[in-house]
A and B are shown apart, each in its own frame.
Chain A
């Protein structure tokens, strides 16, 4: 083989560097598994970060307590990152998510602490307050996001400009209608959304509900695998070998149950546990009381959001159109896709996700403050990009963005444990962001 000529028939077998010769058997096996190699690479990087920090911190990083907190801290960014993936995939950007979050969080705080109890005279602590607040917040988020999307799609103003304006406008509005006040306290059920504790009520599922949710998710994974296999069989398509199917199912289920196990290994704080024992007439054993906390509500919310947005992105026309627009906007329009409507809807979705994150963050703080969500847009965009979303459009996945958010938060959390100061944290996260995208570009160029 003197001169290598790229063959027309099989361009995907074109790379013949020594590197690819080494990894070829591995990629062959991965192809049989039909798993996203980028996702797998990111998981590998995450494990390296985790075990690295665990060694450096003397075993603190991988303690149930730290992992539980890490999951809660990642949730609010991860929720928004799922929507940011679709925005960036369609060749747009949303710089306003932090300000939208602040504005929506403020509005929801006002609804539950002022409008419903005082203006409408229902008083505080009504059982319906949390859900009414949340639904109104999500609807307002869709409206606010949709308004920006309307200007982008139908007004033809670049999304960078529209959402840069939004970043200023929504933040400014907070000061306009709250005069810089902090709104607190929030309704107690609403507070549960943040994963905190109020008295003996805990913003988490608890032991057995957590296991139940985990098992249901496992069954769902297996069911989806079987259903997909059956469908492909019916059309006579090749299916992946049984060992590969079993491995993918076992690893996915193991991950789900692992998360539940970690969350259940984290006990309630001593004073909460004692109070709980007193209320329920449990005698406290001499070695102390171990009541598992279970999966935190913010994480539950994040999982639901992930499922819903993944479904929209991969199983619905809306998602297909978002990816088509990102891949080739002209082709999408010529195929008869309503490009403008799709873009507007993607921004509306982003707004409602910002509202959900706003609920989580205000609930966790038990207050709405004026700097709520400041710079969140940077974390959200970074999470999406570290998760493999490409700014050239058309490429990116929701699970990738979730992983990206966890990677970012793991770096921050690990550095906090190692007592690294905040400016240094920023420097490291910034470098990792650039390095991750650089590496990804390099690898993809090699593969192609």
Chain B
């Protein structure tokens, strides 16, 4: 029912999108978690991806990060069709992901986590000093409070762990960044830090998918907002063209803004 796609014309249409997700489908057993979703992402923009619990946001993003290849559909990067079969393929394309769970190996220290899977080696042995040096540099930009580079990340605070996860994504010159609930576990100061980081990355021309529950965060940071409902895409809207209520209507009722009645809006406000 929510299969129709609202193509909102944006100022950037002349350029080739950084990422094009075309008719992506993912099923788990009999459950269709993502049902034919099409979304574009341009360089230097943030696309907010919102929707209720189980709407399929994370599953859709996992197809792009290589964690779960799609059952059908096509992914294009810079206009070229690509196959992303595993996380390594994604990273090779410059796609980095900050997972909601952070995906850290708790028993390893910060440098080992930042370089996990991409270790720096010198004559076939791990060059821990080089990795620590690079980690110190990138972390200093994110969270100057983090100074324990030799302790397991298990012993770090929530904000420091988040910094390690972000450091891992940005150190390798990502072109496309997926941030899944990047501020869900953070306090106000740390949230502000992440916000300014997102703005900075955007200005560097990185395209960002921002998955979030927090509608205000999304309005704050995104250019466009894509709303998912029960695995389908309700629509992608220009942030400046809609109100918070209209987006809430899309999230909760699964109706595009044009189909939203005044009765619906009244219901939203209970």
A residues in contact (CB < 8 Å) with B: 8-9, 11-12, 231-232, 234-235, 237, 311, 314-317, 320, 323-324, 326-328, 330-337, 393-395, 448
Segment 82-133 of B: residues with Cβ below 8 Å from A: 86-88, 91, 97, 99, 101-108, 112, 116-119, 121, 124-126, 129-130, 132-133
The yes or no answer to B145 lying at the interface (CB within 8 A) is yes
Bound complex: CA A234 to CA B129 (Å): 9
Bound complex: CA A337 to CA B112 (Å): 13
Task: Give, as a whole number of angstroms, the nearest-CB distance from A41 to chain B.
Answer: 19
Q: Which residues of A contact B106 (CB under 8 A)?
A: 327-328, 394
Task: Give, as a whole number of angstroms, the nearest-CB distance from B128 to chain A.
Answer: 9
The yes or no answer to B67 lying at the interface (CB within 8 A) is yes
- Please pick, from B99, B132, B145, B155, the residue contacting A334 in the complex, using a CB distance under 8 A: B99
Cβ–Cβ contact A11 & B126, under 8 A: no
Cβ–Cβ contact A336 & B107, under 8 A: no
Kindly list the 3 A-B residue pairs having the minimum CB-CB distance in the complex, ordered from nearest.
A394-B107, A327-B105, A327-B107
Bound complex: CA A336 to CA B89 (Å): 8
Cβ–Cβ contact B126 & A320, under 8 A: yes
Can you identify 20 A-B contacts, CB atoms within 8 angstroms? A8-B159, A9-B145, A11-B156, A12-B151, A231-B129, A237-B129, A317-B121, A324-B112, A326-B107, A327-B107, A327-B108, A328-B103, A328-B105, A330-B103, A331-B116, A332-B116, A333-B87, A334-B65, A394-B105, A394-B106
Q: Which residues of A contact B66 (CB under 8 A)?
A: 336
Task: Give, as a whole number of angstroms, the nearest-CB distance from A247 to chain B.
Answer: 19
B residues in contact (CB < 8 Å) with A: 65-67, 86-88, 91, 97, 99, 101-108, 112, 116-119, 121, 124-126, 129-130, 132-133, 145, 148, 151, 155-159, 187
Cβ–Cβ contact A9 & B157, under 8 A: yes
Cβ–Cβ contact B129 & A324, under 8 A: no
Kindly list 15 other residue pairs between chains A and B, CB separation below 8 angstroms, not including A11-B157, A336-B91.
Answer: A11-B155, A12-B151, A235-B132, A235-B133, A237-B133, A314-B126, A323-B107, A327-B106, A328-B104, A331-B116, A334-B65, A335-B103, A335-B118, A337-B116, A337-B117
Cβ–Cβ contact B129 & A334, under 8 A: no
Cβ–Cβ contact A316 & B126, under 8 A: yes
Bound complex: CA A231 to CA B125 (Å): 14
Cβ–Cβ contact A323 & B97, under 8 A: no
Bound complex: CA A8 to CA B145 (Å): 11
Q: Which residues of B contact A328 (CB under 8 A)?
A: 103-106
Q: Which residues of A contact B133 (CB under 8 A)?
A: 235, 237
Cβ–Cβ contact B129 & A335, under 8 A: no
Bound complex: CA A317 to CA B126 (Å): 7
Q: Which residues of B contact A327 (CB under 8 A)?
A: 105-108
Name A230's closest neighbour in chain B (CB-CB): B129
Name B122's closest neighbour in chain A (CB-CB): A231
Bound complex: CA A336 to CA B168 (Å): 13
Instruction: Tell me the dominant secondary structure on chain A's binding face.
Output: helix
Q: Which residues of A contact B91 (CB under 8 A)?
A: 336
Q: Which residues of A contact B158 (CB under 8 A)?
A: 8
**Best-buried of A9, A323, A331 by chain B (most CB within 10 Å):** A331
**Best-buried of A316, A324, A335 by chain B (most CB within 10 Å):** A335
Q: Which residues of B contact A323 (CB under 8 A)?
A: 105, 107-108
Given contacts A9-B157, A237-B132, A337-B116, contact A395 B107 (CB under 8 A): yes
Bound complex: CA A237 to CA B135 (Å): 12
Q: Which residues of B contact A333 (CB under 8 A)?
A: 67, 87
Bound complex: CA A231 to CA B91 (Å): 30
Task: Give, as a whole number of angstroms, the nearest-CB distance from A317 to chain B.
Answer: 6
Bound complex: CA A9 to CA B160 (Å): 9
Given contacts A12-B155, A334-B67, contact A324 B125 (CB under 8 A): no
Given contacts A317-B126, A320-B126, A324-B105, contact A336 B86 (CB under 8 A): yes
Bound complex: CA A330 to CA B99 (Å): 11
Bound complex: CA A395 to CA B65 (Å): 29
Given contacts A317-B126, A320-B119, contact A336 B88 (CB under 8 A): yes
Q: Which residues of A contact B108 (CB under 8 A)?
A: 320, 323-324, 327
Bound complex: CA A335 to CA B96 (Å): 10
Name A393's closest neighbour in chain B (CB-CB): B107
**Best-buried of B87, B105, B132 by chain A (most CB within 10 Å):** B105
Q: Which residues of A contact B104 (CB under 8 A)?
A: 328, 331
Q: Which residues of A contact B105 (CB under 8 A)?
A: 323-324, 327-328, 331-332, 394
Task: Give, as a whole number of angstroms, the nearest-CB distance from B39 to chain A.
Answer: 21
Task: Give, as a whole number of angstroms, the nearest-CB distance from B62 to chain A.
Answer: 9
Bound complex: CA A140 to CA B108 (Å): 33
Bound complex: CA A128 to CA B208 (Å): 64
Name A236's closest neighbour in chain B (CB-CB): B133
Cβ–Cβ contact A331 & B151, under 8 A: no
Task: Give, as a whole number of angstroms, the nearest-CB distance from A100 to chain B.
Answer: 28
Bound complex: CA A331 to CA B103 (Å): 4
Bound complex: CA A320 to CA B129 (Å): 15
Bound complex: CA A314 to CA B128 (Å): 10
Name A326's closest neighbour in chain B (CB-CB): B107
Task: Give, as a whole number of angstroms, the nearest-CB distance from B97 to chain A.
Answer: 7
Q: Which residues of B contact A337 (CB under 8 A)?
A: 116-117
- Please pick, from A12, A335, A394, A395, the residue contacting B116 in the complex, using a CB distance under 8 A: A335
Q: Which residues of A contact B132 (CB under 8 A)?
A: 235, 237
Bound complex: CA A335 to CA B103 (Å): 8
Bound complex: CA A167 to CA B130 (Å): 44
Bound complex: CA A335 to CA B204 (Å): 24
**Best-buried of A235, A316, A330, A334 by chain B (most CB within 10 Å):** A334
Bound complex: CA A327 to CA B91 (Å): 22
Cβ–Cβ contact A324 & B145, under 8 A: no
Name B127's closest neighbour in chain A (CB-CB): A231
Cβ–Cβ contact A232 & B129, under 8 A: yes
Q: Which residues of B contact A336 (CB under 8 A)?
A: 66, 86-88, 91, 117-118
Name A324's closest neighbour in chain B (CB-CB): B105
Cβ–Cβ contact B125 & A315, under 8 A: yes
**Best-buried of B104, B107, B118, B132 by chain A (most CB within 10 Å):** B107
Name A390's closest neighbour in chain B (CB-CB): B107
Bound complex: CA A314 to CA B127 (Å): 11
Name B102's closest neighbour in chain A (CB-CB): A331
Name B129's closest neighbour in chain A (CB-CB): A231
Bound complex: CA A335 to CA B125 (Å): 19
Q: Which residues of A contact B107 (CB under 8 A)?
A: 323, 326-327, 393-395
Bound complex: CA A11 to CA B160 (Å): 11
Task: Give, as a whole number of angstroms, the nearest-CB distance from A76 to chain B.
Answer: 29
Q: Which residues of B contact A334 (CB under 8 A)?
A: 65, 67, 87, 97, 99, 103
